[in-house]
């Protein structure tokens, strides 16, 4: 009986092990010319008997197309023929075992799984073994059955090798397709074809999406890249990974905590910075997250104490310095305009506080108010914008927001004058 995955009973396995130990303990007897001729003459009938057994005992075989069943017949015939060739000289290792699967096209591996293939092999071996008494010369039946057992083990390994190669090819194709999809997201080209491709990669589209960008080791090989992919898929419901030179771009989608998922991937990146883009509603908007994360990766060197990972939205000032228009517009919209529209001298107080070296007393003297009034108004700045002027890092954000906002306001005045001819 052929040992195969998950189908042999414990008694069968003990018998197989005992038989293999017996086989390895004594030499294989040479084949007789009469047995060889009998086996060659029986290839056709044995193939027919094997296919009849498959049709009767295995339901999924009956559901195959006529073309696939014909290919299975070729595999069975080639397997029996390869056994006969090996049996002619059993002292030598069965070097041509893989040839039995070469008779069928590679597309057959898409219709038949490895488990199904092992069922076919097991059935063929059982048929040959059950017909040993009829095929073998009298007195050599046991030797023929033992040869079938020895050969069947090699056939099982051959089947696993064929499907391993097919899996490698599919894995390489999936990696290339994944890289194309991520590249399209980075370029902002999330059209219907991209959605179709990402669906083929198993993207479910449940929950929000973020893009994580980090540096990679210069020696990142295929194994390490595969480990990053596996880690990303364990961390989130959906994951896409692309290695682009010295950086890795990871797209995560989940209904859970995406920031925690990104945090768990830190050991898989290189020693440099890792930037997390803002979350988006779905994959169609992921290019916005990718753009912010990539701009953050370019700008993070300007913040010497940036955490790892760092949010792209925490790098708005640095992104402005490298020419990121999105960061510039975000700062104006989230800080400058709300302060300008708040009234009550809030913007004037912030301008005085920043302009006098972040001193409450100096700002109070400049505004002719009490320092507590300055402190109160600065608390209003924090409530309006979410950034605290009394914190060193956040006051820098507000300082740059004030600068770009007033530059835009000055440009708007110049443009208006030109249009009115004043």
Q: Which residue is associated with the tokens 């208006």? A: 416
Q: How far is CA 9 from CA 117, 126, 174, in A?
A: 19, 15, 37
Same domain, 299 and 348: no
Taking the alpha carbons at both ends of the chain, their separation in whole angstroms is: 98
Helices (H) and strands (E) counted in the chain, each on its own, are: 20, 5
Whole-number pLDDT of residue 319: 96
Q: pLDDT truncated to tens, each residue of the chain (422 aa)?
A: 233 333 333 344 344 334 444 434 444 444 567 777 888 888 888 888 888 888 888 888 888 888 888 888 887 787 777 777 777 776 665 544 455 556 566 666 566 666 677 777 778 778 877 887 788 777 777 777 777 777 777 766 666 666 666 555 555 566 777 878 888 888 887 777 677 777 777 888 889 999 999 988 665 666 677 788 888 888 998 989 888 888 899 999 999 999 999 999 998 888 889 999 999 998 889 999 999 999 999 999 999 999 999 999 999 999 999 999 999 999 999 999 999 999 879 999 999 999 999 999 999 999 999 999 999 999 999 999 999 999 999 999 999 999 999 998 888 888 777 877 65
412 & 297 share domain: no
Q: Which residues pair with 128 in a beta bridge?
A: none
CA distance 41 to 33: 12
Give the model's pLDDT for residue 20: 43
Q: Which of 260, 281, 256, 284 is closest to 212 using CA atoms?
A: 260
Domain membership of residue 230 (yes or no) is yes
| 220 and 76 assigned to the same domain | no
What CATH number did the domain enclosing 211 receive? 3.30.70.2730
Residue 27 exposure: Cα atoms within 13 Å on the Cβ side: 6
Residues of the domain holding 116: 10-168
CA 180, 183, 187, 192 dihedral sign is positive
Question: Is residue 196 domain-shared with residue 286, that is, in the same domain?
Answer: yes
- What CATH number is given to the structural domain containing 155? 1.10.490
Give domain status of residue 361, yes or no: yes
Note the pLDDT of residue 160: 65
The rounded distance, in Å, linking the Cα atoms of 399 and 389 is 9
DSSP state of 335: I
Question: Is 175 within a domain?
Answer: no
Q: Do 279 and 361 belong together in one domain? A: no
Bridge partners for 275 per DSSP:
213, 310
The per-residue pLDDT for 347 is 93
Assess whether 50 and 14 both reside in one domain: yes
Amino acid 2: pLDDT: 31
Query: pLDDT by residue (tens digit) across 97-124?
Result: 455 556 566 666 566 666 677 777 778 7
Residue 83 · residue 128 · CB < 8 Å = yes
Structural domain ending residue among the three candidates 280, 314, 348:
314
Q: Look at residues 314, 336, 367 and tell me which one is the last residue of a structural domain.
A: 314
What residues pair up with 241 in beta bridges, in sequence order?
A: 250
| Domain assignment present for 305 | yes
Claim to verify: residue 228 and residue 290 sit in the same structural domain: yes
Q: What residues have CB less than 8 Å from 44, skipping those under 6 apart?
A: 77
Report how many domains make up the chain: 3
Residues 196 and 292 grouped into a single domain? yes
Inside any domain, residue 299 = yes
**Shared-domain flag, residues 271 and 351:** no
In a domain, 265, yes or no: yes
Residues 287 and 402 placed together within one structural domain of the fold: no
Q: How far apart are CA 39 and CA 84, in angstroms?
A: 6
DSSP code at position 280: B
Residue 419: CB atoms within 10 Å? 8
Domain annotation covers residue 176? no
User: Residue with structure tokens 């004043």?
Assistant: 422
pTM of the predicted model over 0.75: no
- Residues 70 and 214 placed together within one structural domain of the fold: no
What phi and psi values does residue 212 have, to the nearest 5 degrees?
Answer: -115, 130
In this prediction, residue 228 carries a pLDDT of 83
Q: Are residues 88 and 131 in the same domain?
A: yes
Q: Which of 314, 349, 382 is the last residue of a domain?
A: 314
Query: Is 49 a domain residue?
Result: yes
């Amino acid at each position: 009986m052929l040992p195969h995955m998950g189908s042999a009973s414990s008694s069968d396995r003990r018998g197989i092990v005992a038989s293999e130990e017996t086989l390895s303990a004594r030499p294989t007897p040479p084949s007789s010319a009469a047995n060889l001729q009998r086996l060659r003459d029986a290839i056709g009938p044995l193939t027919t008997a094997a296919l009849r057994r498959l049709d009767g005992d295995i339901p999924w075989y009956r559901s195959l197309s006529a073309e696939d069943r014909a290919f299975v017949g070729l595999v069975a015939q080639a397997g029996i023929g390869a056994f006969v060739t090996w049996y002619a000289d059993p002292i030598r290792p069965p070097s041509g075992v893989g040839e039995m699967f070469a008779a069928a096209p590679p597309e057959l591996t898409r219709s038949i799984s490895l488990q199904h293939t092992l069922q076919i092999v097991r059935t063929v071996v059982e048929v040959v073994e059950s017909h040993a008494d009829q095929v073998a010369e009298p007195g050599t039946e046991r030797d023929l059955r033992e040869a079938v057992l020895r050969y069947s083990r090699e056939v099982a390994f051959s089947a696993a090798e064929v499907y391993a190669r097919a899996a490698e090819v599919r894995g390489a194709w999936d990696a290339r397709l994944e890289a194309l999809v991520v590249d399209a997201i980075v370029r902002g080209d999330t059209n219907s074809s991209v959605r179709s491709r990402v669906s083929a990669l198993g993207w479910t589209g449940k929950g929000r999406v973020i893009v994580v960008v980090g540096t990679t080791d210069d020696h990142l090989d295929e194994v390490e890249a595969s480990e990053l992919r596996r880690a990303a898929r364990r961390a989130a419901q959906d994951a896409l990974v692309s290695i682009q030179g010295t950086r890795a771009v990871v797209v995560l989608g989940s209904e859970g905590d995406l920031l925690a998922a990104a945090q768990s991937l830190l050991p898989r990146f290189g020693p440099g910075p890792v930037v997390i883009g803002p979350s988006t509603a779905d994959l169609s908007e992921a290019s916005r997250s990718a753009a912010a994360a990539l701009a953050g990766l370019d700008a993070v060197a300007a913040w010497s104490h940036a955490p790892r990972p760092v949010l792209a939205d925490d790098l708005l000032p640095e992104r402005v310095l490298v020419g990121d228009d999105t960061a510039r517009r975000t700062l104006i919209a989230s800080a400058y305009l709300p302060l300008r529209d708040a009234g009550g001298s809030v913007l004037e107080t912030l301008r005085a506080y920043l302009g006098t070296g972040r001193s409450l007393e100096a700002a109070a003297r400049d505004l002719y108010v009490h320092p507590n009034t300055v402190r109160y108004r600065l608390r209003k700045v924090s409530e309006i914008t979410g950034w605290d002027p009394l914190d060193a890092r956040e006051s820098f954000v507000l300082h740059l927001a004030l600068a770009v906002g007033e530059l835009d306001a000055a440009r708007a005045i110049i443009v208006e004058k030109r249009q009115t001819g004043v």
